[in-house]
Amino acid sequence: MELDLPLILMVATGLTGLIVLVDRLFLRRKRQERIEALEQSGAPQENILEATKEPFLIDQSRQFFPVLALVFVLRSFAFEPFQIPSGSMEPGLQVGDFILVSKFSYGLRVPGNGSTIIPVDQPQRGDVMVFFPPEDSRYFIKRVIGLPGDHIVYKDLRLTINGEAVPTEVLGGKPAYAPTMVLGEETMDNATPVVKWLPGRDRTTGQAALWGGPEGEWTVPDGHYFMMGDNRGNSGDSRMWGFVPEKNIVGKAVAVWMHWESWTSLPSFDRVKVIE
Protein backbone atom coordinates (compact mmCIF):
# COMPACT_ATOMS: atom_id res chain seq x y z
CA MET A 1 0.00 0.00 0.00
CA GLU A 2 1.45 3.36 -1.08
CA LEU A 3 1.42 6.36 1.27
CA ASP A 4 -0.90 9.14 0.17
CA LEU A 5 1.50 12.01 0.91
CA PRO A 6 -0.86 14.80 -0.27
CA LEU A 7 -3.57 13.48 2.05
CA ILE A 8 -1.10 13.18 4.94
CA LEU A 9 0.03 16.78 4.35
CA MET A 10 -3.56 18.03 4.25
CA VAL A 11 -4.49 16.21 7.47
CA ALA A 12 -1.32 17.38 9.26
CA THR A 13 -1.95 20.98 8.21
CA GLY A 14 -5.57 20.80 9.31
CA LEU A 15 -4.81 19.20 12.70
CA THR A 16 -1.99 21.57 13.64
CA GLY A 17 -4.07 24.53 12.49
CA LEU A 18 -7.04 23.36 14.59
CA ILE A 19 -4.86 22.94 17.67
CA VAL A 20 -3.43 26.45 17.26
CA LEU A 21 -6.92 27.89 16.78
CA VAL A 22 -8.38 26.15 19.86
CA ASP A 23 -5.41 27.33 21.90
CA ARG A 24 -5.86 30.94 20.83
CA LEU A 25 -9.62 30.95 21.41
CA PHE A 26 -9.81 29.02 24.69
CA LEU A 27 -6.71 27.40 26.19
CA ARG A 28 -4.37 30.41 26.16
CA ARG A 29 -6.89 32.47 28.15
CA LYS A 30 -7.16 29.73 30.78
CA ARG A 31 -3.36 29.55 31.10
CA GLN A 32 -3.20 33.32 31.53
CA GLU A 33 -5.89 33.21 34.24
CA ARG A 34 -3.90 30.53 36.07
CA ILE A 35 -0.72 32.62 35.87
CA GLU A 36 -2.51 35.66 37.28
CA ALA A 37 -3.95 33.58 40.10
CA LEU A 38 -0.49 32.24 41.01
CA GLU A 39 0.97 35.76 40.99
CA GLN A 40 -1.80 37.10 43.22
CA SER A 41 -1.36 34.23 45.68
CA GLY A 42 2.37 34.85 45.97
CA ALA A 43 3.33 31.48 44.52
CA PRO A 44 7.03 30.67 44.02
CA GLN A 45 8.56 32.07 40.82
CA GLU A 46 9.39 28.60 39.46
CA ASN A 47 5.70 27.67 39.65
CA ILE A 48 4.75 30.80 37.73
CA LEU A 49 7.41 30.11 35.06
CA GLU A 50 6.19 26.53 34.73
CA ALA A 51 2.63 27.78 34.19
CA THR A 52 3.77 30.05 31.34
CA LYS A 53 5.09 27.09 29.32
CA GLU A 54 2.87 25.85 26.50
CA PRO A 55 1.97 22.14 26.47
CA PHE A 56 4.20 20.13 24.12
CA LEU A 57 1.46 19.45 21.54
CA ILE A 58 0.46 23.11 21.37
CA ASP A 59 4.08 24.28 21.15
CA GLN A 60 4.90 21.85 18.32
CA SER A 61 1.69 22.67 16.43
CA ARG A 62 2.39 26.41 16.67
CA GLN A 63 5.87 25.89 15.19
CA PHE A 64 4.93 23.43 12.45
CA PHE A 65 1.60 24.88 11.28
CA PRO A 66 3.04 27.88 9.32
CA VAL A 67 5.54 25.63 7.54
CA LEU A 68 2.96 22.95 6.74
CA ALA A 69 0.46 25.57 5.58
CA LEU A 70 3.01 27.18 3.24
CA VAL A 71 4.03 23.81 1.76
CA PHE A 72 0.37 22.81 1.39
CA VAL A 73 -0.53 26.02 -0.46
CA LEU A 74 2.53 25.87 -2.73
CA ARG A 75 2.09 22.21 -3.72
CA SER A 76 -1.68 22.54 -4.08
CA PHE A 77 -1.83 25.71 -6.14
CA ALA A 78 1.66 26.55 -7.47
CA PHE A 79 4.36 23.92 -8.08
CA GLU A 80 4.99 20.37 -6.96
CA PRO A 81 8.13 18.23 -7.43
CA PHE A 82 7.97 14.68 -8.76
CA GLN A 83 10.53 12.02 -9.61
CA ILE A 84 10.31 10.03 -12.85
CA PRO A 85 9.84 6.39 -11.74
CA SER A 86 9.97 4.56 -15.09
CA GLY A 87 11.26 4.74 -18.65
CA SER A 88 7.88 5.34 -20.30
CA MET A 89 8.84 8.91 -21.29
CA GLU A 90 12.31 8.14 -22.63
CA PRO A 91 14.33 9.51 -24.24
CA GLY A 92 13.20 12.98 -23.10
CA LEU A 93 12.61 12.09 -19.44
CA GLN A 94 14.71 9.43 -17.77
CA VAL A 95 14.42 7.39 -14.60
CA GLY A 96 15.73 9.53 -11.75
CA ASP A 97 14.82 12.90 -13.27
CA PHE A 98 13.25 15.25 -10.74
CA ILE A 99 10.67 17.43 -12.45
CA LEU A 100 8.67 20.49 -11.49
CA VAL A 101 4.94 20.39 -12.18
CA SER A 102 2.94 23.60 -12.57
CA LYS A 103 -0.34 23.21 -10.68
CA PHE A 104 -1.87 26.44 -12.07
CA SER A 105 -1.18 25.97 -15.80
CA TYR A 106 -4.56 24.28 -16.24
CA GLY A 107 -6.37 26.26 -13.55
CA LEU A 108 -6.53 26.25 -9.76
CA ARG A 109 -8.16 23.07 -8.46
CA VAL A 110 -9.67 21.86 -5.19
CA PRO A 111 -7.00 19.64 -3.51
CA GLY A 112 -8.09 16.01 -3.46
CA ASN A 113 -11.16 16.73 -5.58
CA GLY A 114 -9.89 17.96 -8.93
CA SER A 115 -12.70 20.49 -9.47
CA THR A 116 -11.50 23.71 -11.09
CA ILE A 117 -11.77 26.82 -8.90
CA ILE A 118 -10.26 29.33 -11.32
CA PRO A 119 -9.85 28.27 -14.98
CA VAL A 120 -6.56 29.33 -16.57
CA ASP A 121 -5.91 27.23 -19.67
CA GLN A 122 -6.65 23.82 -21.17
CA PRO A 123 -4.15 21.05 -22.02
CA GLN A 124 -2.77 21.27 -25.55
CA ARG A 125 -1.57 18.50 -27.84
CA GLY A 126 2.06 17.83 -27.06
CA ASP A 127 1.94 18.96 -23.42
CA VAL A 128 3.62 16.67 -20.91
CA MET A 129 1.07 16.19 -18.15
CA VAL A 130 0.91 14.59 -14.69
CA PHE A 131 -2.42 12.95 -13.85
CA PHE A 132 -4.19 10.01 -12.24
CA PRO A 133 -5.22 7.25 -14.67
CA PRO A 134 -8.79 5.95 -14.46
CA GLU A 135 -9.35 3.82 -11.35
CA ASP A 136 -5.76 4.32 -10.17
CA SER A 137 -4.42 6.42 -7.30
CA ARG A 138 -0.84 6.58 -8.62
CA TYR A 139 0.64 9.61 -10.37
CA PHE A 140 1.38 9.07 -14.08
CA ILE A 141 3.23 11.28 -16.54
CA LYS A 142 2.56 11.08 -20.29
CA ARG A 143 2.13 13.33 -23.30
CA VAL A 144 -1.24 14.73 -24.35
CA ILE A 145 -2.08 13.24 -27.75
CA GLY A 146 -5.84 13.57 -28.02
CA LEU A 147 -8.14 16.39 -26.88
CA PRO A 148 -11.88 16.04 -26.24
CA GLY A 149 -13.60 15.10 -29.49
CA ASP A 150 -10.40 14.06 -31.31
CA HIS A 151 -10.27 10.92 -33.42
CA ILE A 152 -6.93 9.12 -32.91
CA VAL A 153 -5.40 6.38 -35.08
CA TYR A 154 -2.07 4.76 -34.19
CA LYS A 155 -0.80 2.27 -36.75
CA ASP A 156 2.61 1.32 -38.13
CA LEU A 157 4.38 3.68 -35.68
CA ARG A 158 2.44 6.65 -37.01
CA LEU A 159 -0.19 8.87 -35.42
CA THR A 160 -3.17 10.30 -37.27
CA ILE A 161 -5.31 12.91 -35.51
CA ASN A 162 -8.66 13.90 -37.00
CA GLY A 163 -7.65 12.48 -40.37
CA GLU A 164 -4.31 14.31 -40.54
CA ALA A 165 -1.06 12.37 -40.19
CA VAL A 166 1.33 13.74 -37.58
CA PRO A 167 4.62 14.50 -39.40
CA THR A 168 7.16 11.92 -38.22
CA GLU A 169 10.85 11.72 -39.09
CA VAL A 170 13.07 8.76 -38.23
CA LEU A 171 16.31 10.03 -36.72
CA GLY A 172 19.56 8.43 -37.80
CA GLY A 173 22.98 8.10 -36.25
CA LYS A 174 23.94 7.55 -32.63
CA PRO A 175 22.50 7.97 -30.09
CA ALA A 176 19.34 8.21 -32.18
CA TYR A 177 19.89 4.67 -33.38
CA ALA A 178 21.35 1.92 -31.20
CA PRO A 179 20.82 -1.85 -30.90
CA THR A 180 18.21 -1.22 -28.22
CA MET A 181 16.21 1.63 -29.76
CA VAL A 182 15.24 3.70 -32.77
CA LEU A 183 14.17 7.31 -32.33
CA GLY A 184 11.74 9.42 -34.30
CA GLU A 185 10.65 13.03 -34.13
CA GLU A 186 6.97 14.02 -34.27
CA THR A 187 5.73 17.52 -35.01
CA MET A 188 2.63 18.39 -32.97
CA ASP A 189 0.69 21.57 -32.30
CA ASN A 190 2.50 22.40 -29.07
CA ALA A 191 5.74 20.37 -29.15
CA THR A 192 8.18 18.35 -31.20
CA PRO A 193 8.73 15.24 -29.07
CA VAL A 194 11.35 12.62 -29.77
CA VAL A 195 9.72 9.19 -29.48
CA LYS A 196 11.32 5.80 -28.99
CA TRP A 197 10.61 2.50 -30.77
CA LEU A 198 12.11 -0.87 -29.93
CA PRO A 199 13.78 -3.14 -32.53
CA GLY A 200 12.30 -6.61 -32.68
CA ARG A 201 10.97 -9.28 -35.04
CA ASP A 202 7.65 -9.62 -36.81
CA ARG A 203 5.86 -12.57 -35.21
CA THR A 204 4.40 -13.67 -38.54
CA THR A 205 7.33 -13.28 -40.94
CA GLY A 206 10.27 -13.34 -38.53
CA GLN A 207 11.68 -10.27 -40.27
CA ALA A 208 13.30 -7.39 -38.39
CA ALA A 209 10.70 -4.83 -37.31
CA LEU A 210 10.13 -1.98 -34.89
CA TRP A 211 7.80 -2.33 -31.92
CA GLY A 212 5.85 0.81 -31.09
CA GLY A 213 3.33 -0.62 -28.66
CA PRO A 214 -0.37 -1.42 -29.08
CA GLU A 215 -2.13 -0.03 -32.15
CA GLY A 216 -5.73 1.01 -32.52
CA GLU A 217 -8.34 3.67 -33.17
CA TRP A 218 -10.03 5.84 -30.54
CA THR A 219 -12.45 8.77 -30.27
CA VAL A 220 -11.87 10.92 -27.20
CA PRO A 221 -15.07 11.67 -25.25
CA ASP A 222 -15.92 15.14 -23.93
CA GLY A 223 -14.07 16.09 -20.78
CA HIS A 224 -11.33 13.49 -21.34
CA TYR A 225 -7.81 13.26 -22.80
CA PHE A 226 -5.83 10.58 -24.67
CA MET A 227 -2.32 10.12 -23.28
CA MET A 228 0.74 8.28 -24.64
CA GLY A 229 4.30 7.82 -23.44
CA ASP A 230 7.16 8.93 -25.67
CA ASN A 231 8.66 5.45 -25.24
CA ARG A 232 5.96 4.04 -27.49
CA GLY A 233 7.19 0.47 -27.28
CA ASN A 234 7.24 0.38 -23.47
CA SER A 235 4.51 2.58 -22.02
CA GLY A 236 1.29 1.79 -20.21
CA ASP A 237 -1.02 4.56 -21.39
CA SER A 238 -4.44 5.35 -22.87
CA ARG A 239 -3.96 2.59 -25.43
CA MET A 240 -4.36 0.13 -22.54
CA TRP A 241 -6.45 1.78 -19.82
CA GLY A 242 -8.46 4.40 -21.68
CA PHE A 243 -9.07 8.12 -21.42
CA VAL A 244 -8.10 10.48 -18.58
CA PRO A 245 -10.98 12.51 -17.07
CA GLU A 246 -10.39 16.24 -16.77
CA LYS A 247 -10.81 16.05 -12.97
CA ASN A 248 -7.82 13.65 -12.79
CA ILE A 249 -5.35 16.26 -14.07
CA VAL A 250 -2.61 17.22 -11.61
CA GLY A 251 -0.61 19.72 -13.66
CA LYS A 252 1.78 20.44 -16.49
CA ALA A 253 5.39 19.21 -16.31
CA VAL A 254 7.53 22.28 -17.03
CA ALA A 255 11.16 21.55 -16.10
CA VAL A 256 13.76 19.01 -15.02
CA TRP A 257 15.62 20.51 -12.04
CA MET A 258 17.78 17.58 -10.91
CA HIS A 259 18.73 14.00 -11.75
CA TRP A 260 19.27 11.49 -8.95
CA GLU A 261 19.01 7.91 -10.10
CA SER A 262 19.57 6.14 -6.76
CA TRP A 263 20.66 6.71 -3.18
CA THR A 264 24.03 5.15 -4.00
CA SER A 265 24.82 7.86 -6.59
CA LEU A 266 25.32 11.59 -6.35
CA PRO A 267 22.68 14.07 -7.57
CA SER A 268 23.46 15.66 -10.92
CA PHE A 269 22.33 18.92 -12.50
CA ASP A 270 23.57 18.10 -16.00
CA ARG A 271 20.02 17.39 -17.20
CA VAL A 272 18.43 20.64 -16.01
CA LYS A 273 16.12 21.80 -18.82
CA VAL A 274 12.71 23.05 -19.81
CA ILE A 275 10.37 20.17 -20.74
CA GLU A 276 9.10 20.31 -24.33
- Chain segment 40-64, per-residue pLDDT in tens: 887 787 777 777 788 888 888 888 8
Q: For the residues 16-41, what does the mean pLDDT come to?
A: 84
CATH number at residue 132: 2.10.109.10
Position 232 confidence tier, pLDDT thresholds 50, 70, 90: very high
Q: Are residues 200 and 222 in the same domain?
A: yes
Whether 141 and 85 have beta carbons less than 8 Å apart is answered as no
Q: Are residues 187 and 64 in the same domain?
A: no
Question: What pLDDT sits at residue 75?
Answer: 66
Q: For the residues 262-269, what does the mean pLDDT come to?
A: 82
User: 0.85 cut: is pTM over it?
Assistant: no
What is the distance between the alpha carbons of residues 111 and 99, in angstroms, rounded to a whole number?
20
Domain-ending residue, one of 51, 76, 101: 76
Domain-ending residue, one of 47, 76, 105: 76
Q: Are residues 260 and 195 in the same domain?
A: yes
Position 178 confidence tier, pLDDT thresholds 50, 70, 90: low
Position 5 pLDDT exceeds 60: no
Phi and psi torsions of 42, nearest 5°: 75, 30
Q: Are residues 60 and 149 in the same domain?
A: no
Question: What pLDDT sits at residue 174?
Answer: 55
Q: Are residues 156 and 268 in the same domain?
A: yes
> What's the mean pLDDT when you consider all of the chain?
85
Question: What pLDDT sits at residue 9?
Answer: 65
Q: Which of 61, 76, 88, 238 is catalytic?
A: 88
Question: What pLDDT sits at residue 1?
Answer: 34
Q: Are residues 57 and 118 in the same domain?
A: no
Convert the pLDDT of each residue in 109-118 to its tens digit.
666 666 666 6
Question: What pLDDT sits at residue 115?
Answer: 66
The region of weakest confidence among 9-18, 29-38, 175-184, 252-261 is 175-184
What is the distance between the alpha carbons of residues 230 and 77, in angstroms, rounded to a whole number?
27
Spatial neighbors of 76 by CB under 8 A, at least 6 apart, are 6, 103, 111
Q: Are residues 87 and 215 in the same domain?
A: yes
Position 133 pLDDT exceeds 80: yes
Give the residues across from 8 on adjacent strands. Answer: none
Q: Which of 61, 105, 142, 238 is catalytic?
A: 142
CA distance readout (Å), 200 to 171, 191, 210, 230:
18, 28, 6, 18
Query: How many domains are there within the chain?
Result: 2
The region of weakest confidence among 196-205, 235-244, 249-258 is 196-205
Question: What pLDDT sits at residue 148?
Answer: 97
Whether 160 and 152 have beta carbons less than 8 Å apart is answered as yes
CA distance readout (Å), 65 to 9, 15, 46, 72, 105:
11, 9, 29, 10, 27
The question of whether 88 is a catalytic residue gets the answer yes
- Is the preceding peptide bond at 133 cis, omega within 30 degrees of 0? no
- Which has more confidence, 56 or 163? 163
CA distance readout (Å), 118 to 93, 101, 115:
30, 18, 9
Question: What share of the chain has pLDDT > 70, as a percent?
Answer: 88
The region of weakest confidence among 53-67, 171-185, 258-272 is 171-185
Q: Are residues 155 and 101 in the same domain?
A: yes
The question of whether 142 is a catalytic residue gets the answer yes
* Owning domain of residue 116: 79-274
Q: Are residues 20 and 94 in the same domain?
A: no
- Which has more confidence, 61 or 179? 61
Q: Are residues 33 and 103 in the same domain?
A: no
Write down the H helix ranges in the chain: 5-22, 28-40, 45-52, 56-77, 238-241
Position 78 pLDDT exceeds 80: no
Q: For the residues 179-204, what does the mean pLDDT come to?
A: 85
Domain-ending residue, one of 76, 100, 132: 76
- Which has more confidence, 124 or 111? 124
Q: Are residues 128 and 244 in the same domain?
A: yes
Question: What pLDDT sits at residue 59?
Answer: 86
Q: Are residues 190 and 222 in the same domain?
A: yes
